[in-house]
Homo-oligomer: A and B are copies of this chain.
């Protein structure tokens, strides 16, 4: 594989910038709001169940999360939640959308270096406008040949992206924090995956076991380790 031939895809939330920590802060405030009615575990479990029930209709992102949080709050308080408390939940959602983008350690240096020799793509899922806004705020757009915002990241949608950009999966490396969305579907299609865990993982993205794929799966502590993985793959 010649160096220039390797195409590298990057997840965005919790791979390029912090995201789950913003949700976690909101969850804390949500638990506090409902603490007089239910313990934290019940609140978390019920909200997650609502999110999963609504996922097909709402898709990923802050707006669907906010609607599910309001629905759950009404359910858990048997309708006793006050309008001003619901207004507070709407405001929390708006704060999340307006939150500054905080890049993860090493992102700028790593992308700057790799962009000189490789085609870099963003492949992310979620809300169209929210992801576009975060990319614009990130200052990273110039490093990427293309940005793909998908409603789901699975083998079918990766295959569509590969066709669209004439990418050979055997010459593709996906980098991200989610084994489920970033790594497993790409390995399934014959590509390589570099898993860079974030310290928080949303329950819907958790998988039980690490993939067992010799030579195509890499686990990194930070994005700073990525150039070495790329060199080893590019040299093959």
Contact = CB atoms under 8 A, between A and B. Distances in A.
Given A63-B67, A67-B63, A128-B128, A84 B79 contact: yes
Contacts of A67: 63, 66-67, 90, 93
A57 interface: yes
A74 B87 contact: yes
Nearest to A152: B129
State the copy count for this chain: 2
Interface string A110-124: 000000000000000
Residue of A54, A57, A93, A97 with most chain B CB atoms under a 10 A cut-off? A57
Interface size class of A (residues with CB under 8 A): 20 to 34
A70 B94 contact: no
B70 A79 contact: no
A82 interface: yes
Contacts of A128: 59, 127-128, 149-151
Contacts of A70: 70, 86, 90
Nearest to A95: B57
A222 B127 CA distance: 33
Given A57-B97, A67-B93, 19 more contacts: A54-B94, A58-B97, A58-B129, A59-B127, A59-B130, A63-B63, A63-B64, A63-B67, A66-B67, A70-B86, A71-B87, A74-B86, A83-B83, A83-B86, A127-B127, A128-B128, A128-B149, A128-B151, A129-B151
